[in-house]
Structure 1
Amino acid sequence: MASAIKRGVSLYSYQNETFQGKMTLEDCIRTSAELGAKGIEIIGEQTFWGWPEYGAADADVANWHSLIGKYDCTPVSHDFMLDYKRYKGREMAFEEQVASVKNDIDFGARLGMKFIRALVSISPDVLVAAAPYAEEKGIKILIEVHAPLHFDHPWIVRHAEAYEKSGSDALGFLPDMGMFLHAYPPVWKERFLRQGAQPEIADYIEKAYQDRVLSEYVILGAMQMGANKAAISMAEALRHNSAFEPKRMLEFMPRIHNIHGKFYQMTEDCVEPSIPYDKIVEVLQKGGYQGYICSEYEGNRWIEDVEEPDSVEQVRRQQVMLAKLLGEETVPALKTPVAA
């Protein structure tokens, strides 16, 4: 029996092809739809020229809705930034931050989104202040729980407490599956090796991560082994990643409304070697989650020094994996090749 969980794609996954002009917005939406990933998530700056500084043209928004209808897709989330610490050489005042969030709420509603993603750095007070406006617009604001943060981190706990105190149903969470990094990603290790990391130290770091050794001890151990700059960088990556437990999502499930299906590499047999998606899907099903898992490919930056990323093939493989884990009978397949 197929799961109630739905499959989607963050168009961020196609960032290389979008930037290089190899894929248009229609290509991105059509490709996702052909894979049965009908939920479409965007980053406004990537999909709409001029956003947010100059707004988005009515014609571009109309084209968006036309394509969503043409390929029978569903708008899921607009991921907004609010980079308030780099605003005109100063930090945004509280009222300016709230106004900026409201602007993104309006944009999300204009695109037919149910959710907008907030960066984890945004204060809960700002989101609580914007919540009544989000309620009016039928939008939920979801803070992204992203490594190195996790559901037991004091900053996330503070958000959770603020949301409950507010009583607003418009505030929630968007977990990024990168926080469940249970093995050192092979594409990371290979990149550091190409940069000159000593193989024996790279093996040590990989094994230490598998054994859950504290990152600072791993860094110290690598230094004592004579690690060069590349090897130290490989060890320091552990500071920002850890193997948190997927089951911690259960306590927060009533406020979890979208999932970032982060992945760094899908093997030819459609396995993500570093993130335990079988356990993740099991936890989501146990918690009664019925939203989207949106593919978010971020392995491109780890391989583009030696090969051209094929984001479409990587997304296809993850969608095959997800379809299998969700109990779907049809195997996702592409019908229309993307022009090179």
Structure 2
Amino acid sequence: MSHQIRRGVSLYSFQNDTFLRHMTLEDCVRTCAEIGALGIEVVGEQSFTGWPEVGMPTAEVARWHALMERYGTTPVCHDFMLDYKRVKGQVMPFAEQVASVKKDIDFGAALGMRFIRSLVSVAPEVLVACAGYAEDKGITILLEVHAPLHFDHPWIIRHAEAYEQSGSQALGFLPDMGMFVHRFPRVWKERFVRNGVPRHIADYIEQAYQDRVLSEYVLLDVQQMGGTGPAIAMAETLRHNAAFEPKRMLDFMHRIHNIHGKFYEMTEDDVEYSIPYDEIVAVLKQGGYQGYICSEYEGNRWIEDAHPVQSVEQVKRQHRMLCRLLDEPIPAALQA
């Protein structure tokens, strides 16, 4: 292979299975190992009891390391949640925000992670203030670039400028592939129809997205078509999602160290219905990206009202696709 792109999974992909207790943490890790997705990303609150309220879950951290050794997997990233508005209308003081991020740096280091994921809403000044502490712990803080933001958004540019001015290599980006929704996901459309959107309005919104019509115009048109409630909500998705260009990652590649492989629906042909992964992987190869693409399945919330959520099957389909795009042999567990 002429690249250093590796396959991983965010255990967030299995949120339905873990919430319903259909899968344990070990089940999740074993599943990833079986399909050759050896990089493991976690959301601490999902996988570790009581984190962060109860402090460091020492016994569970020890068990985590035992699982990593048992299955030959690699800790990649801890996705932390800075609740900087703890009370409605009251922003957490700057010093408390910094202290909270440092607590997650400690947790990521305890798990053996190289990276921790910051929500895109966190101010650059907070992350810059934590950079030295992160360096000492061997951690790089990655801001998740998540729709509706993108690499040309002023907030992301502000972060990029702050990182460069800091001179620290402990600050970077984690692009979420949900920035590149080039076709309106059909699982979204069908959920909105089940929620009461008239089919002709749903068809119009889908086509408007395909035609890249300005979202404000779509909202006005839907209202004039008599759309209310769910129809307005469906039109509002056009404000949050857009078909940005994967090639914009190239100018930021020196600070991109992990990828969220967001997907909503993998078809039976192992293709993501709405996100052009062939273009995305080509850009990552062109930019010399070195790191993991970690699956992040979020189609569950769009189908769970009407269909069984098959998270494992969906993740397997994505990794068959990634094997093809990354020129990797398909593991036996993915051939079934």
Normalising by structure 1, we get a TM-score of: 0.96
* TM-fit CA distance, 1:240: 0.5
Is 1:215 the counterpart of 2:215? The answer is: yes
Q: 1:161 matched to which residue of 2?
A: 161
* Counterpart contact for 2:218–2:235, Cα < 8 Å: yes
Distance 1:16 1:2, change over 3 A: farther
Q: 2:25 matched to which residue of 1?
A: 25
The residue identity in structure 2 corresponding to 1:67 is L
* Counterpart contact for 2:3–2:285, Cα < 8 Å: yes
Could you tell me how far apart the structure 1 residues matched to 2:160 and 2:3 are?
28
* TM-fit CA distance, 1:307: 1.6
1:236-251 alignment, distance < 5 Å: 236-251=236-251
Gaps of 5+ in 1: none
Q: 1:124 matched to which residue of 2?
A: 124
The SS at the match of 1:5 is strand
* Counterpart contact for 1:147–1:241, Cα < 8 Å: yes
The residue identity in structure 2 corresponding to 1:264 is Y
1:251-262 alignment, distance < 5 Å: 251-262=251-262
Could you tell me how far apart the structure 2 residues matched to 1:275 and 1:162 are?
30
Q: 1:293 matched to which residue of 2?
A: 293
* Counterpart contact for 1:198–1:228, Cα < 8 Å: no
Could you tell me how far apart the structure 2 residues matched to 1:287 and 1:239 are?
29
The SS at the match of 2:333 is coil
The SS at the match of 2:236 is helix
Q: 1:267 matched to which residue of 2?
A: 267
Deviations 1:118-162 (A, max 9, x none): 000101000000000000011000000000000011100000000
Q: Give the number of equivalent residue pairs.
A: 336
Could you tell me how far apart the structure 2 residues matched to 1:198 and 1:125 are?
46
Deviations 1:44-76 (A, max 9, x none): 000101101112322111100000010000000
* TM-fit CA distance, 1:87: 5.1
The residue identity in structure 2 corresponding to 1:284 is L
Could you tell me how far apart the structure 2 residues matched to 1:287 and 1:112 are?
27
The SS at the match of 1:116 is strand
* Counterpart contact for 1:10–1:296, Cα < 8 Å: yes
The SS at the match of 1:172 is strand
Could you tell me how far apart the structure 2 residues matched to 1:130 and 1:87 are?
23
The SS at the match of 1:113 is coil
The residue identity in structure 1 corresponding to 2:101 is V
When the two chains are superposed, the root-mean-square deviation of aligned CA atoms in Å is 1.5
* Counterpart contact for 1:117–1:141, Cα < 8 Å: yes
* Counterpart contact for 2:258–2:291, Cα < 8 Å: yes
Could you tell me how far apart the structure 2 residues matched to 1:188 and 1:17 are?
21
The SS at the match of 2:151 is coil
Q: 1:302 matched to which residue of 2?
A: 302
* Counterpart contact for 1:61–1:111, Cα < 8 Å: yes
1:98-137 alignment, distance < 5 Å: 98-137=98-137
Q: Percent identity?
A: 71
Of the structure 1 ranges 220-229 and 326-335, higher mean CA displacement relative to structure 2 is found in 326-335
* TM-fit CA distance, 1:220: 1.0
Q: 1:170 matched to which residue of 2?
A: 170
The residue identity in structure 2 corresponding to 1:151 is F
The residue identity in structure 2 corresponding to 1:330 is I
Q: 1:143 matched to which residue of 2?
A: 143
Of the structure 1 ranges 69-78 and 192-201, higher mean CA displacement relative to structure 2 is found in 192-201
Gaps of 5+ in 2: none
Distance 1:328 1:313, change over 3 A: same
The SS at the match of 2:290 is coil
* TM-fit CA distance, 1:223: 1.5
Of the structure 1 ranges 216-225 and 245-254, higher mean CA displacement relative to structure 2 is found in 216-225
Of the structure 1 ranges 72-81 and 219-228, higher mean CA displacement relative to structure 2 is found in 219-228
Runs of 4+ in 1 over 4 A off after TM superposition: none
Q: 2:66 matched to which residue of 1?
A: 66
The residue identity in structure 2 corresponding to 1:48 is F
1:2-81 alignment, distance < 5 Å: 3-81=3-81
* TM-fit CA distance, 1:86: 1.6
* TM-fit CA distance, 1:331: 4.3
Is 1:191 the counterpart of 2:195? The answer is: no
The SS at the match of 2:174 is strand
* TM-fit CA distance, 1:332: 5.9
* Counterpart contact for 2:320–2:330, Cα < 8 Å: no
* Counterpart contact for 2:98–2:129, Cα < 8 Å: yes
